[in-house]
Amino acid sequence: MSECAAVGTPWTDERLVFPNADGTLRSAINVRRSFRAHLSKAGFTEPHGWTPREMRTSFVSLLSDQGIPITVIARVVCHSGTNVTEKVYCKWLRPVISEGAEAMGDIFGASPATEAG
């Protein structure tokens, strides 16, 4: 808020998490610019190769790789249920898919690797 007072612009309280200095909505370009500036400060060698969406996908992938249940992942990424999480992140939900395939193999007496080979 002090930045607004310093430049003489009124603060607008849109209740945004990451607003512009005057409290208004950031454009997608400004979000990426700010995000990449933070990556540079954090020591990323190629910050322009990352987007906020890729970081979110990486986050979901890391949770999944650690065996976190899909219901928990969906809650953490603020999805109302697992359908959206499964649809959007299906290729990054490896343990869930692998465990499901292994369970089916156990049920039907066949290994997924054996069937695919």
For 49-105, write each residue's pLDDT tens digit. 888 888 888 888 888 888 888 899 899 988 888 888 888 877 667 655 566 667 777
Residue 98, token pair as written in the block = 């692998």
- Supply the pTM of this predicted model: 0.53
Lowest mean pLDDT segment, chosen from 16-30, 35-49, 66-80: 16-30
Give the pLDDT confidence score for residue 42 in this predicted structure. Answer: 93
Residue 61, token pair as written in the block = 């992938």
Residue 109, token pair as written in the block = 């007496």
> For residues 14 and 26, is the Cβ–Cβ distance under 8 A?
no
User: pLDDT averaged over the chain?
Assistant: 77
Distances in Å between the Cα of 11 and the Cα atoms of 21, 24, 29, 30, 114 are 8, 8, 21, 18, 63
